């Protein structure tokens, strides 16, 4: 949905001052094809919000718009992710449909791109990767919950003052496998995937990845791959024309990055990347950007498996799950009995390792060290462990307070090594057990979402958090209050292969 700021001096909107649900509308912020966005305030909580109101005449004239609006509210309500707009309330009042959302202070990505371009500048590569990695995380999360955005474009990415990216305007969402499109709108031609331009109901997760690649292409080269005099002309180019190589417009783009962009822009969805995060990770690697080189707040988000039948090629994680096995002793033995004992011991160790794909023997301890501003996971086992199925849960599962182990770079923590989560700007040194090598690290900005802290955003005080592996609780650890510190030790579980 395109956004247009109301021109100064225009006659005051009749909705200003009106109460819809719990919200009083204070000012018109933007208008689009089927709705208007107002700034409002919760009259009970005093909380500001952005209120999306379906145009009254359109709602009367086209029942599909009302259904689409209702669908947007339902689908968004399912999605709780730090890079997806938060829904406060949905309702209908005297034929007026409205959706109250968190008010994001800042500008959208299209406005920021235009501002930089107008000043003769371009957006830095690290900033581009950082912003779009967050968008990729939001898309993968939505896809994992069966929701396709179908209108990924810069104006639908809001940027806060600290450059947190918030994906918004899910007005064209649809269930990935159970629903077809309502209405005739099918996305924005400048960013639309070929299959979506051909038939709106063919949109899939890889359609959003294509659109994300178009956004990346535009940010890196200064213009999208396809332009034209009419929306139809642009859409037809997406369907039939090969995209100009990005390096033809910006020679500074590495060859590896160009190859990945062109892969994501392939006409056939099955030839594109499996997930949005996978795509953006290849871009990050193509530029040689290390996670620690990116600005604070950058995370490597969850990488869910996408249920796309055409891409379901079976288990591809075999190589990643490979187990490090101890080398066999090649020294000569002088006594038969000694050799026999060694063979028996080797057999027992081999059995334990083969029965445990994570490498660590059952009962091997791992230790958590944490203060109010830092959290350290120390792998004190004698083997590398895979933490992909590990979750830390404070309070209700699947909320912003949780932390998933697959956010750890590579999903693995080497033996006698650490992974750390720290408050942005925290200079606390890693515990001595981590050694002299810099641990893998993620920086976060909101301590009220730290799962190891007692205090939370909603004011709830929680005395403990759960450690879960593959959905099963394997330990409960104390949380810490401000100024406090603690540690928690538990045994690494043996899991089925």
pLDDT digits (tens, 9 = 90+) for 404-452: 888 888 888 998 899 999 987 777 888 888 888 888 888 888 888 899 9
pLDDT of the residue at 312: 29
Residues above pLDDT 70, as percent of the chain: 74
Q: 3.40.50, 2.60.40, 2.30.30, 3.30.460: which CATH number matches 365-491? A: 2.60.40
Domain boundaries, the chain: 19-102, 108-176+186-306, 365-491
User: What mean pLDDT comes out for the span 257-274?
Assistant: 96
Please say whether the beta carbons of 452 and 402 come within 8 A.
no
pLDDT value at 182 more than 50: no
Q: Specify the pTM.
A: 0.56
pLDDT at 186: 53
Enumerate residues 6+ apart whose C-beta is below 8 A from 119. Answer: none
Tokens (6 digits) for 79: 């999605």
Mean pLDDT of the 342-347 span:
45
Question: Which pLDDT score, from 0 to 100, does residue 132 have?
Answer: 97
Please say whether the beta carbons of 139 and 152 come within 8 A. Answer: yes
Calpha distance 358→107 (Å, rounded): 45
Residue of higher predicted confidence among 82 and 345: 82
CATH number of 108-176+186-306: 1.10.510.10
Catalytic residue among 151, 169, 406, 411: 151
Provide mean pLDDT across the span 313-334. Answer: 35
Q: How far apart are CA 82 and CA 167, in angstroms?
A: 9
Contacts 24+ apart (CB under 8 A), 446-450: 447/372, 447/373, 447/423, 449/400, 449/401, 450/375, 450/401, 450/421, 450/423
Is 151 noted as a catalytic residue in this protein?
yes
Distance from the Cα of residue 325 to its chain's centroid:
34
What is the C-alpha to C-alpha distance for residues 369 and 405, in angstroms, rounded to an integer? 16
How many CB atoms lie under 10 A from the CB of residue 312?
9
Q: What is the mean pLDDT of the chain?
A: 78
- Euclidean distance between CA atoms 411 and 379, whole angstroms: 13
Confidence check: pLDDT of 201 > 90: no
53 vs 215: CA distance, rounded Å: 27
Give the strands of the sheet with 157-159, arranged side by side.
Answer: 107-108, 157-159, 165-167
Can you tell me the distance from the alpha carbon of 307 to that of 401, in angstroms, rounded to the nearest whole number?
Answer: 26
pLDDT at 338: 47
Which of 3-7, 48-52, 118-122, 385-389 shows the lowest per-residue confidence on average (mean pLDDT)? 3-7
What pLDDT was estimated at residue 428?
80
CA distances from 184 to 32, 61, 151, 172, 449 (A): 16, 14, 14, 10, 41
Q: For residue 418, which of 369, 486, 465 has the smallest C-alpha distance?
A: 369
Whole-number pLDDT of residue 63: 62
The token pair that represents 114 in the structure block: 């235009």
Supply angle C-alpha 25, 27, 33, rounded to 5: 95
Q: 229: number of CA atoms within 13 Å, CB side?
A: 0
**Of 465, 456, 344, which is closest to residue 397 (Cα–Cα)?**
465
Residue 165 has pLDDT above 60, yes or no: yes
pLDDT beyond 50 at 154:
yes
**Helix axis angle, 205-221 relative to 255-264, nearest 10°?**
140
Higher pLDDT residue, 199 or 420?
420
Residue 35 pLDDT > 80:
no
> Looking at residue 123, what DSSP letter applies?
-
CB atoms within 10 A of CB 368: 19
More confident residue, 263 or 383: 263
Compute the average pLDDT of residues 98-121.
90
pLDDT at residue number 360:
39
Domain at 19-102: CATH architecture: 2-Layer Sandwich (3.30)
Enumerate residues 6+ apart whose C-beta is below 8 A from 205. 139, 143, 148, 176, 275, 276, 306, 308
Rounded mean pLDDT of 467-475?
88
């Amino acid at each position: 949905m395109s956004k247009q700021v109301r021109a100064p001096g225009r006659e005051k909107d009749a909705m200003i001052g009106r109460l819809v649900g719990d919200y009083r509308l204070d000012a018109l912020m933007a208008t689009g094809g089927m709705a208007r966005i107002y700034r409002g305030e919760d009259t009970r909580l005093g909380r500001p919000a952005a209120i999306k109101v379906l145009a009254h005449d359109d709602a009367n004239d086209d029942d599909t718009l009302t259904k689409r609006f209702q669908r947007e509210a339902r689908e968004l309500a399912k999605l709780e992710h730090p890079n997806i707009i938060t829904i406060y309330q949905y309702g209908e009042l005297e034929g007026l449909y409205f959706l109250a959302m968190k008010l994001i202070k800042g500008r959208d990505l299209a406005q920021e791109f235009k501002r930089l371009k107008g000043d003769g500048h371009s957006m830095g590569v690290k900033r581009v990767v950082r912003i779009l990695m967050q968008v990729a995380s939001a898309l993968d999360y939505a896809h994992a919950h069966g929701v396709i955005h179908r209108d990924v474009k810069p104006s639908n990415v809001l940027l806060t003052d600290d450059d947190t990216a918030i994906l918004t305007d899910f007005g064209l969402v649809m269930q990935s496998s159970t629903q077809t499109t309502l209405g005739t709108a099918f996305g924005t031609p400048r960013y639309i995937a070929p299959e979506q331009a051909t038939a709106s109901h063919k949109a899939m997760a890889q359609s959003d990845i294509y659109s994300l690649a178009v956004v990346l292409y535009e940010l890196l080269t200064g213009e999208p791959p396809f332009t034209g005099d009419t929306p139809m002309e642009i859409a037809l180019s997406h369907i039939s024309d090969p995209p100009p190589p990005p390096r033809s417009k910006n020679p500074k783009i590495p060859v590896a990055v160009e190859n990945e962009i062109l892969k994501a822009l392939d006409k056939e969805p099955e030839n594109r990347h499996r997930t949005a995060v996978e795509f953006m990770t290849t871009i990050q690697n193509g530029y040689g950007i290390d996670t620690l080189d990116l600005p604070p707040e950058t995370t490597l988000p969850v990488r869910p498996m996408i249920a796309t039948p055409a891409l379901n090629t079976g288990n591809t994680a075999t190589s990643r799950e490979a187990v490090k096995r101890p080398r066999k002793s090649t020294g000569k033995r002088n006594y038969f009995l000694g050799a026999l004992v060694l063979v028996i011991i080797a057999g027992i160790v081999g059995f334990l390792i083969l029965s445990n794909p994570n490498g660590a023997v059952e009962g091997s301890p791992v230790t958590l060290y944490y203060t109010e501003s830092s959290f350290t996971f120390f792998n004190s086992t004698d083997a590398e462990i895979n933490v992909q199925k590990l979750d830390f849960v404070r309070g209700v599962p699947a909320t912003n307070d949780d932390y998933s182990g697959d956010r750890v770079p590579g999903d693995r923590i080497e033996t006698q090594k650490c992974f750390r989560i720290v408050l942005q700007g925290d200079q606390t040194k890693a515990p001595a057990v981590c050694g002299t090598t810099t641990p893998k690290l993620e920086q976060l900005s909101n301590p009220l979402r730290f799962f190891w802290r007692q205090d939370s955003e909603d004011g709830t005080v929680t005395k403990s958090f759960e450690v879960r592996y593959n959905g099963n609780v394997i330990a409960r650890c104390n949380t810490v209050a401000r100024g406090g510190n603690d540690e928690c030790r538990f045994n690494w579980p043996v899991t089925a292969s």
